[in-house]
Amino acid sequence: MPYAERNPEGTIIALYAAQNDRAQEFLTGNHPEMSAFLSDSPNGQVHARMQASDLEMARVVEDLIFVLIEKSVIKLDSLPAATRHKINQRAQIREAISNALSDQLFPGA
């Protein structure tokens, strides 16, 4: 998915999982016109809720990984290098955000 069907003005009017006579154009999942079509459709709210849920779930998984490491259930160095890199990167970003907020809320502290 998705193959787009367009009206004569070029606006997407339908998406299909498989190519067919009406839908020849393949669009990537992050194509802006596809996102706009999905958000305007009756299922747009469901799609938006799913995306928000994905972001929330990513945070849950991140927190779970840190708890498992803290409790010595898993070791950071036992994870693949790419995973370790992503975990460390996220930790650094969160620390930077926390420090920035702290500086804004408590200047000079």
CA 62 to chain centre: 13
Is pTM, for the whole model, over 0.75? no
Do 108 and 87 have their domain in common? yes
User: Given a cut of 80, is residue 95 above it in pLDDT?
Assistant: yes
Could you give the residue ranges of the DSSP H alpha helices within 1-109?
32-40, 44-70, 81-105
Cβ-contact 38, 49 below 8 angstroms: no
User: How is the beta sheet containing 25-26 ordered, strand by strand?
Assistant: 12-16, 3-6, 25-26
- Residues 37-93 pLDDT 10s: 777 666 656 666 777 788 889 889 999 999 999 999 999 999 999 999 999 998 899
User: Given a cut of 80, is residue 100 above it in pLDDT?
Assistant: yes
Do 82 and 70 have their domain in common? no
Cβ-contact 16, 3 below 8 angstroms: yes
Distance, in Å, from the CA atom of 59 to the CA atom of 36, rounded to the nearest integer, reads: 26
pLDDT of residue 41: 62
Distance, in Å, from the CA atom of 74 to the CA atom of 61, rounded to the nearest integer, reads: 14
Instruction: Show the domain range for 63.
Output: 45-74
Average pLDDT over residues 5-28: 88
Q: Indicate the number of domains in the chain.
A: 3
User: What's the pLDDT band for 109 if we cut at 50, 70, 90?
Assistant: low
Do 50 and 67 have their domain in common? yes
